Copies of this chain bind each other. A is one copy, B any other.
Amino acid sequence: MSAGKILVYGGRGALGAACVNHFKAKNFWVGSIDLTENEQADLSIVVPKDGDWVTQETYVVSKVGDALNGEKLDAVICVAGGWAGGNAKKDLAKNSDLMWRQSVWTSSISAAVGARYLRDGGLLALTGANPALKGTPGMIGYGMAKAAVHQLTKSLAGNESGLPKDSVVVAILPITLDTPMNRKWMPEADYTSWTPLSYVADLLMSWTVNEKRPSNGSLIQLVTKNSNTTLKVTE
């Protein structure tokens, strides 16, 4: 018998794959949702890349429902996302559109899945971004998308948001994650200020099993210094 059931949206990304592995190692049934398959997962939902927002929502909600067959989820964890720079002068729509698909479509579809299939008292975890708490003139599309995820988190924590009774929604706001891609692109950086993926996966695990859960609607900044990560709740 499994320890519980969770979904990881973005289960093929660096952080997502780390989460899939971490929960699998703790005997959870784990579903992955992404544009490509994660073979480690018990269920892999491959989202139709060219489908529009409604099509992707309908597809994912339906596939999750089929797989659960009446059972419920302990957590829905959305760590899908991406990054693009750019200001108002060039490719604003193009970059904003990409950021919207990668961060907001995935977060809102996770919310729609959570509303239907999370158990009472379940966890919905989304991924925001520290810089988007202020203006981000050099990465305008990215900032808009993450600001939308922050506000979505607060909406979902409100009364009558559609999430099940006693469920908790939080957003993690990483600064820089210690991923292979970030090491590749920023080889000179100080890695001791980057947050390890294993730390994040373990954090999400503890919240899933209701240890040290933040209050509903929290935006939790992950601040790493000298290889030590602390949590800072956004005011």
Residues of B within 8 A of A137 (CB): 155-162
Interface of A is mostly: helix
Copies in the complex: 2
Within 8 A of B (CB), among A190-231: 217
Known: A88-B114, A96-B53. A145 touches B148 (CB 8 A): yes
Q: A53-B97, A54-B97, A87-B115 are in contact. Are A154 and B134 (CB under 8 A)?
A: yes
- In the complex the two chains form, is A89's CB within 8 Å of B108's CB? no
Q: Is the CB of A158 within 8 A of B145?
A: no
Given contacts A54-B97, A89-B116, A100-B100, 9 further A-B contacts (CB under 8 A): A53-B93, A53-B96, A54-B93, A57-B93, A104-B144, A108-B144, A135-B161, A135-B217, A144-B155
Q: Which residues of A contact B (CB under 8 A)?
A: 52-54, 56-58, 87-90, 92-94, 96-97, 100, 104-105, 108-109, 111-112, 114-116, 132, 134-138, 140-141, 143-145, 147-163, 217
